[in-house]
Amino acid sequence: MSMKVIQTDRAPAAIGPYSQGIVAGGWLFVSGQLGLKPATGEMVGEGFGDQARQALANLRSIVEAAGFALTNVVAVDVFITDMAQFSSFNSIYSEVFSEHKPARAVVEVKGLPRGAHVEVKCAAFRGA
C-alpha cells in the first residue's frame, strides 16, 4: 500500500515531528488540529468558540487538500479542556457537519499544546 503525505498552506504547519495528514490506500488520517491561524501559526484567540471554529476549518482544509470531502469523514476525535464547553462545541460542530454525521468521541483532557482549549482529528475514507 502506498502512502502520501498531505501538506497545505491553508492549514497551520505541524508544530512537531508529524504530518498534517497521511493518505494510505483509500484512507486519510488527519493529525490533531488546534485553533491556529494558518498564515502565522498563532492561536486565533483566547475564546473556546473561535478556537473550535478555526480547528475545524484547519481540519477541513487538510481533508480538501487530500482530495477528500467532509462527507468522506468517518470518525472524528475531539479533545477539550473543559467538558462544560461540550454543548458549545456541538453547536459549532453542527455548522460543519450538519447532514453528514461521522462517528465521534469527545474527551476532556488536562491540557493541550500551546494552551489550546480544543483539538480535533479525523479519519476519512473514499475507497482505494
pLDDT digits (tens, 9 = 90+) for 16-38: 899 999 999 999 999 999 999 99
Q: What is the pTM of this model?
A: 0.96
Which domains does the chain possess? 3-125 (3.30.1330.40)
pLDDT digits (tens, 9 = 90+) for 58-68: 999 999 999 99
Grid cell locating 67 = 482530495
* Category of 41 on φ-ψ map: left (φ > 0), alpha (ψ -120 to 50) or beta: left
Q: Are 81 and 109 in contact (CB under 8 A)?
A: yes
What is the rounded CA–CA span in Å between residue 99 and residue 52? 19
- Cβ atoms within 10 Å, residue 81: 17
